Every structure is written in structure tokens, then in C-alpha cells.
């Protein structure tokens, strides 16, 4: 395909591509997201290709053929379907059949029985209330979702721009270039009330207007794909599964603010996302949808990719731009803000992946459509990565304002292994935890802020009654302390001291005063740290202290960990009825904590015991057990 040089040729190409895809009687989509690839979906794809190719009488066109031809069956690698727990996934369109946990050995059967014979294979279907559910749209996991941003993930082949074009891709860019003034684009995004999906929820239209209003003519459009929050992978899935949607959003932003150059900053831990983005940019350039004089207009936009190098703090705006400039990724004091002096000291629009991915849909369908989804002041949908102790882990998208209960129980299927719901950690190491009393809280920027939590980028880790909240707080503090860049004292020193205290508590050496110091430090760091990382560093501690203070107190006063997590709080106890007084344990105890008289019951001194467990292994009479 040559470069598209005007509007008509894009419209024509789109129609032709759509016709080709429609001519497929059947499309086999194999999920090629990170999760399913790890489960072997690459081999499944190869096998399905072989089968379809080797079947006489069926003419098929494969991936490498850009023109889809009039093949009967198409085999495609799709982006992440979101249902990662059940991977590898194989979907058959247009019948909308979703096969789960597919193995290489199943391929022959799928081909002969389902594709050729039209018969379902029950064992590969999702089980729901004792019934097999063949159609994806009927599966509970999907039923309650509203997949807009993720619509194409799992539906189109992310490695081919043709698929994106065929379903109406780059229509929004076409519309703004030919029918709208830049200011009108900003007005539309403002009217839609789109708020940044990266965490803070800043109005996107306002940000764009601020950049557009700068005197400096050179402006940059930057995408924050440094999704570093542990437990979040929404942006990864968009970059991997539908890269063009985000690229189109960036191009629209560039047009709106008068920029001709952009950067995508992706964390190095996402090699597949980087590969797909590189490929997508190359294809868009080839088609004339990126580069100079896009579609024959005066608008030019070049896009670069920068790989992160393993620093969480680079998710912060000024640290991210510093990193692109080739410096240490350390945040700086603001103002000047990024919109005034961002990348290379030029005005910069910095939004995250999901925010950009929302933009083409808003321009396509209008602000009113967008506003019809979600709740007051929190419009549209939000993608969440649902993980932890929940039955259906994966990537979901729901309208803003959906309750936590709907997400965890209706979509997530409830708690895994029959456990009890205890809390949800939302917003990663900068967020807070929500408890059972918040189950009916609507998930939106403002409701969460009110109770001291935040949506953050959208990581949602569900915890059951076997999770110790003090240990969780320690875990996050350890993460933040590791990732603190060291520039400002409150964060560098404060997180270190807080971590020391938390480590002391889980080691059974904490005191009640420690809890007060934790609170004091939390407040101080929140008030005085330089950047968002520091300001939010104490959040997990503050919210666990608020909602699970009892658990902290059990750790420091009773030296007990009821969730049976903190090993240092275990107690080894000798049962006097079972103990024969053989003295073997006492002789072998490395700490000399066991004493007694031969042929009488021995006992363990808790303070001397180092909890190594050697005595349990030694005892021939099964007389030593662990108490929590």
C-alpha cells in the first residue's frame, strides 16, 4: 500500500479493507497478550495456521497477506482479551465463541469439530453456575463490563494497521484534520469532561488549552507509558493490543496544540509493547498517517519511542521528561509546570496511554456520547487490572462510578478458594486500601479521593483474610523506599525510617509508640515531599492504620499475626502430653531455647527462640506445633 495523500484515498482504503474482512466467513483470534503468550498461544497460533492451510478445499489468507483476499477462514493474533486467568484464549468470530485454557493438543479438535463441523467443545468453554457458556458476551466476566477503550483488544490484530483501519481507525484524525479547527478539538475534549487516566484525574482539555496558549511555537506531545505501579497492566494491554488507537489520540492532541513531534515513554519491562508500538509507528508512517504532511495537509507529526530503564519515579511528569532528555530521572520543583516548560524546556502535553486512547472515540462519537457514560464529573469508562485473591483475574473496563462490589463479585467472580474478602489495594504504592465497608462505594476520582484513596493508574489488588495488612504496608513502603530518587529529604529519609519501623513491627519488635511515630512521619512526608511519589508514599500506611489499626495493635501488643503471615510472630509450643522428654530437640536447638528434664515434658522459651523450626523436624513424637 502506498502513502495516502488525501481524504478520499483514506476513505476508499478503509472501505476496501472492511469489505475484505467482512468476506471472512470465520475469524480465529488467538490472544497474543503477554499472559497468553506465556501460556503458549504462539504455538497454538502456528498450529491453527497449519491446520487451516493444510485443509483441502478451504482457501485461506494469512497474516502476511496484507490484502485479506476472499479467504474463508482468517487466523489472527489479537491483543489481550483481559481474561488472563483463563488463558490461552481462542475466540471464533462471528459466532463469538470463546475457548479458554486452550492447549496445543486441542487445536486439531477445534479445527475439525468447531470450525469445520460447527460443533462446540464443552470442556473448553467457560463454566458458569454449572453450565457451559459458549458466547463471550454471556460470560459474567464480560457481561458487566463496558469495553470502549479495550474494545479492539481481542478483536483486531494489533500488528496490522489494516485491521484498525477496517473498523474505522484514523477516522477521528481524518475528521479533525479536515473538518475541525484546533480550538474546536480542544473544546470537544473539554466538553466531554475527559480526565487524565494516569491517576490525578486532571481535565485533559484544560491541559491541552494551556499548552496551546503558550507563546513558544515548538511544543511536544508526550505519552506516559511508564506504567510502574506493581499490579497494574492496563496501559500495557492497550499498547500491545490496540497501539494505533493511542497513536491516533496522540496525533489528534498534536493537531490540537500545534505540535509536530511526540515521544512515547514505555517501561523496559514491556518488551512486547515496545515491539508492537515500533511496528505500529512504522506502519502509520508507511500509510501516510504519521510523518510529514499527513493526508496531504499541512499537519506533520513525528513520533519517537523511548524505553525506560527501570526507575519507577519516571512515571512522574518532570522525571519522565528529564529521562527522555538523557538525564537522571528526578522530579523538579514546579512551577514552571510541564505545560509551560516540559520536555527540552518546551510546552508539553503529557498524558497517559489510556487518556490518549479515549480521544479518538470522543471525536468520533461526540462529547455527549462520552458524557452519557459514567457519573457526574467522572465521565467515560476506566480500565482496571483486577488481580490478587479474586477468582477471575484480568483486565476489565467499567463505567466510572461502578461499585467495588460489582467489580469484585460480578466481574471478578468473588474471592478465590472460598476465602473472605478483606481489602482491595487500589492505586498501587501511592494509593490506599478499601475495606468491606466500601464495597458499595462508586469507583470514580472524587469518591475515592474523599476517603483518602485514589484510582491511580487502576491497579486493583484484592486481598483475602490470609493477607496481613501490616505486611502489605511494609511491602509498599519497601517498594517506595527503593524507588525514592533521593532528591528531597522527606522522601529519602522519611520512607527509610518508616520502613524500619514497619520491619520492626512484622518482626515482632514493635511498640505502641511506633504507631504514633508512623502517623507523624506519614503526615510530615505527605506535606513536605517534592513530588507525587513522595507525597503519596505514606498512603498505604495511613489507610491501613486507619482501617486495620487493630491488626497493627495485635502485632505490637500481643505479638500476634492473625492472618498467619509474619513468621517472626509464630510461637513454637511443646505439647506436654505428647512430649516424652527425650531431649533431642533441646540438644539440637541452635539458640538453646529449649529446656527441661529427661523423661519430663520440655518447654520452649519464646524470647530466646529464633523460630527456625528445627525442633519440629526433630521431634519423633509430633509433640511440637506452631501457634499463631
Partner 1 sequence: MLEKEYYDKTDEIIAAHGRTQADLIPIIQEIQEAYRYLPPELLTYVAKELSIPESQAYSVATFYENFSFEPKGKFLIKVCDGTACHVRKSIPILETLYKELGLSKDKQTTDDMLFTLETVSCLGACGLAPVLTVNDKVYPAMTPEKAIEMINELRGA
CA distance 288 to 496: 51
Residue pair 104/44 in contact by the 8 Å Cβ criterion = yes
Exactly one of 306, 318, 348, 358 binds partner 1 (CB under 8 A); that residue is: 306
Strand pairing report for 432-435 and 126-128: unpaired
Exactly one of 327, 511, 595, 608 binds partner 1 (CB under 8 A); that residue is: 327
Identity of the residue, 94 or 613, whose beta carbon is nearer to partner 1 in the bound complex? 613
143 grid coordinates = 457481561
Phi–psi pair at 500, nearest 5 degrees: -60, -45
**Interface with partner 1, residue 34, by CB under 8 A:** yes
Identity of the residue, 288 or 388, whose beta carbon is nearer to partner 1 in the bound complex? 388
- Report, in Å, the least distance between residue 271 CB and partner 1: 6
Identity of the residue, 162 or 464, whose beta carbon is nearer to partner 1 in the bound complex? 464
- Please choose, out of 29-37, 121-129, 529-537, 617-625, the segment that lies near partner 1 by the rule CB under 8 A: 29-37
Identity of the residue, 254 or 311, whose beta carbon is nearer to partner 1 in the bound complex? 311
CA distance 259 to 281: 17
Exactly one of 49, 73, 350, 472 binds partner 1 (CB under 8 A); that residue is: 472
559 burial via Cβ count (<10 Å: 0-12, 13-18, 19+): middle
Geometric angle at alpha carbon 449, from 370 and 213, rounded to 5°: 55
Name residue, grid cell 489528534: 252
Per DSSP, 268 falls in state T
**Interface with partner 1, residue 100, by CB under 8 A:** no
- Please choose, out of 124-132, 139-147, 289-297, 318-326, the segment that lies near partner 1 by the rule CB under 8 A: 318-326
Q: Which secondary-structure segment (H or E) carries 285?
A: helix 271-286
- Report, in Å, the least distance between residue 216 CB and partner 1: 18
**Interface with partner 1, residue 360, by CB under 8 A:** no
Q: Which secondary-structure segment (H or E) carries 378?
A: strand 378-379
3-state secondary structure of 318: helix
- Report, in Å, the least distance between residue 389 CB and partner 1: 6
**Interface with partner 1, residue 569, by CB under 8 A:** no
- Report, in Å, the least distance between residue 367 CB and partner 1: 32
Identity of the residue, 163 or 464, whose beta carbon is nearer to partner 1 in the bound complex? 464
**Interface with partner 1, residue 307, by CB under 8 A:** yes
- Report, in Å, the least distance between residue 574 CB and partner 1: 26
**Interface with partner 1, residue 328, by CB under 8 A:** yes
Per DSSP, 478 falls in state H
Identity of the residue, 195 or 276, whose beta carbon is nearer to partner 1 in the bound complex? 276
Strand pairing report for 421-426 and 432-435: antiparallel
Question: Which residues within the stretch 265-284 sit at the binding site for partner 1 (CB under 8 A)?
Answer: 268-271
Identity of the residue, 482 or 511, whose beta carbon is nearer to partner 1 in the bound complex? 482
Geometric angle at alpha carbon 149, from 144 and 151, rounded to 5°: 65
- Please choose, out of 215-223, 244-252, 264-272, 547-555, the segment that lies near partner 1 by the rule CB under 8 A: 264-272
Identity of the residue, 396 or 542, whose beta carbon is nearer to partner 1 in the bound complex? 396
CA distance 17 to 30: 21
Residue 506: which of 378, 625, 611, 409 has the closest Cα? 611
**Interface with partner 1, residue 242, by CB under 8 A:** no
CA distance 82 to 153: 8
Residues constituting the chain: 628
Q: What is the 3-state secondary structure (H, E, C) of 495-520?
A: HHHHHHHHHHHHCCCCCHHHHHHHHH
Identity of the residue, 26 or 319, whose beta carbon is nearer to partner 1 in the bound complex? 319
Strand pairing report for 378-379 and 381-388: unpaired
Question: Which residues within the stretch 504-563 sit at the binding site for partner 1 (CB under 8 A)?
Answer: none
**Interface with partner 1, residue 324, by CB under 8 A:** yes
**Interface with partner 1, residue 432, by CB under 8 A:** no
Geometric angle at alpha carbon 501, from 499 and 502, rounded to 5°: 65
Geometric angle at alpha carbon 45, from 273 and 122, rounded to 5°: 115
CA distance 160 to 278: 12
- Report, in Å, the least distance between residue 213 CB and partner 1: 26
Phi–psi pair at 393, nearest 5 degrees: -80, 160
Question: Which residues within the stretch 70-99 sit at the binding site for partner 1 (CB under 8 A)?
Answer: 84-85, 87
Exactly one of 12, 22, 25, 38 binds partner 1 (CB under 8 A); that residue is: 38
**Interface with partner 1, residue 395, by CB under 8 A:** yes
- Please choose, out of 206-214, 481-489, 554-562, 591-599, the segment that lies near partner 1 by the rule CB under 8 A: 481-489
**Interface with partner 1, residue 46, by CB under 8 A:** no
Binding residues for partner 1, how many (CB under 8 A)? 56
Identity of the residue, 271 or 592, whose beta carbon is nearer to partner 1 in the bound complex? 271
Helices 353-365 and 171-179 cross at an angle (nearest 10°) of 60
CA distance 237 to 395: 8
Question: Which residues within the stretch 135-164 sit at the binding site for partner 1 (CB under 8 A)?
Answer: none
Cis peptide before 190 (omega within 30 of 0): no
**Interface with partner 1, residue 325, by CB under 8 A:** yes
Per DSSP, 494 falls in state H
Interface pattern 203-232 for partner 1 (x via CB under 8 A): ------------------------xxxxxx
To 10 degrees, the CA torsion angle through 379, 385, 389, 390?
Answer: 60
- Report, in Å, the least distance between residue 306 CB and partner 1: 7
**Interface with partner 1, residue 329, by CB under 8 A:** yes
Residues of the shown chain interacting with partner 1 in the complex, contacts defined by CB under 8 A: 34-35, 37-39, 84-85, 87, 227-233, 236, 268-271, 306-312, 323-330, 385, 387-389, 393-395, 425, 428-429, 459, 461, 463, 467, 472, 475-476, 479, 482-483, 485
Amino acid at each position: 500500500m502506498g502513502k495516502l495523500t488525501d481524504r478520499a484515498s483514506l476513505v476508499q482504503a478503509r472501505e476496501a479493507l472492511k469489505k475484505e474482512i467482512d468476506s471472512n466467513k470465520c475469524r480465529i483470534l488467538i490472544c497474543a497478550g503477554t499472559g497468553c503468550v506465556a501460556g503458549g498461544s504462539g504455538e497454538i497460533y502456528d498450529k491453527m495456521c497449519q491446520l487451516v492451510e493444510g485443509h483441502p478445499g478451504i482457501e485461506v489468507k494469512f497474516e502476511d497477506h496484507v490484502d485479506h483476499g476472499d479467504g474463508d477462514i482468517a487466523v489472527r493474533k489479537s491483543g489481550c482479551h483481559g481474561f488472563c486467568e483463563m488463558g490461552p484464549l481462542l475466540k471464533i468470530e462471528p459466532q463469538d465463541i470463546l475457548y479458554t485454557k486452550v492447549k496445543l493438543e486441542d487445536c486439531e479438535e477445534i479445527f475439525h469439530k468447531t470450525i469445520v463441523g460447527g460443533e462446540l467443545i464443552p470442556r473448553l468453554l467457560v463454566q458458569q453456575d454449572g453450565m457451559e457458556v459458549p458466547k463471550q458476551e454471556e460470560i459474567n466476566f464480560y457481561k458487566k463490563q463496558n469495553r470502549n477503550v479495550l474494545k479492539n483488544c481481542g478483536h483486531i490484530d494489533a500488528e496490522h494497521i489494516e485491521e484498525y483501519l477496517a473498523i474505522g481507525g484514523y477516522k477521528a484524525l481524518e475528521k479533525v484534520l479536515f473538518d475541525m479547527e484546533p480550538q474546536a478539538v480542544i473544546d470537544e475534549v473539554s466538553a466531554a469532561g475527559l480526565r487524565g487516566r494516569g491517576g490525578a484525574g486532571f481535565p485533559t482539555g484544560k491541559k491541552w488549552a494551556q499548552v496551546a496558549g503558550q507563546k513558544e511555537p515548538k511544543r511536544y506531545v508526550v505519552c506516559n507509558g511508564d506504567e510502574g505501579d506493581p499490579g497494574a497492566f492496563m496501559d500495557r494491554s492497550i499498547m500491545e493490543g490496540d497501539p494505533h488507537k493511542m497513536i491516533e489520540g496522540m496525533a489528534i492532541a498534536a493537531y490540537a496544540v500545534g505540535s509536530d513531534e511526540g515521544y512515547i515513554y514505555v517501561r523496559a519491562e514491556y518488551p512486547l509493547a515496545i515491539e508492537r508500538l515500533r511496528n505500529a509507528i512504522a506502519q502509520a508512517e508507511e500509510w501516510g498517517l504519521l510523518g510529514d504532511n499527513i493526508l496531504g495537509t499541512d499537519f506533520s507529526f513525528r513520533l519517537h519511542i523511548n524505553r525506560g530503564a527501570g526507575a519507577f519515579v519516571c512515571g512522574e511528569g518532570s522525571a519522565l521528561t528529564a529521562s527522555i532528555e538523557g538525564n537522571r530521572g528526578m522530579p523538579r520543583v514546579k512551577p514552571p509546570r510541564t505545560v509551560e516548560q516540559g520536555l527540552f524546556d518546551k510546552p508539553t502535553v503529557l498524558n497517559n496511554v489510556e487518556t490518549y486512547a479515549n480521544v479518538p472515540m470522543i471525536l468520533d462519537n461526540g462529547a455527549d456520547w462520552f458524557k452519557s457514560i459514567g457519573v457526574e464529573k467522572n465521565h467515560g469508562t476506566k480500565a482496571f487490572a483486577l488481580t490478587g485473591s479474586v477468582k477471575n483475574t484480568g483486565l476489565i473496563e467499567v463505567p466510572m462510578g461502578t461499585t467495588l462490589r460489582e467489580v469484585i463479585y460480578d466481574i471478578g467472580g468473588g474471592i478465590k478458594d472460598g476465602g473472605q474478602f478483606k481489602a482491595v489495594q487500589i492505586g498501587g504504592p501511592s494509593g490506599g486500601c478499601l475495606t468491606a465497608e466500601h464495597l458499595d462505594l462508586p469507583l470514580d476520582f472524587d469518591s475515592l479521593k474523599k476517603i483518602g484513596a485514589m484510582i491511580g493508574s487502576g491497579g486493583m489488588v484484592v486481598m483475602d483474610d490470609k493477607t496481613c495488612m501490616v505486611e502489605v504496608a511494609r511491602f509498599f513502603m519497601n517498594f517506595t523506599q527503593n524507588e525514592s530518587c533521593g532528591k528531597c529529604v522527606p522522601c529519602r529519609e522519611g520512607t527509610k525510617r518508616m520502613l524500619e519501623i514497619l520491619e520492626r513491627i512484622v518482626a515482632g519488635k514493635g511498640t505502641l509508640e511506633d504507631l504514633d511515630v508512623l502517623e507523624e512521619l506519614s503526615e510530615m512526608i505527605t506535606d513536605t515531599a517534592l513530588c507525587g511519589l513522595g507525597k503519596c508514599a505514606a498512603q498505604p500506611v495511613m489507610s491501613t492504620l486507619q482501617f486495620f489499626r487493630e491488626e497493627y495493635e495485635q502485632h505490637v501488643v500481643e505479638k500476634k499475626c492473625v492472618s498467619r503471615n509474619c513468621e517472626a510472630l509464630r510461637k513454637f509450643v511443646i505439647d506436654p502430653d505428647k512430649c516424652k522428654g527425650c531431649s533431642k530437640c533441646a540438644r539440637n536447638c541452635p539458640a538453646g531455647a529449649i529446656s527441661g528434664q529427661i523423661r519430663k515434658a520440655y518447654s520452649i522459651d519464646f524470647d530466646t527462640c529464633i523460630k527456625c523450626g528445627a525442633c519440629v523436624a526433630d521431634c519423633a513424637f509430633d509433640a511440637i506445633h506452631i501457634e499463631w
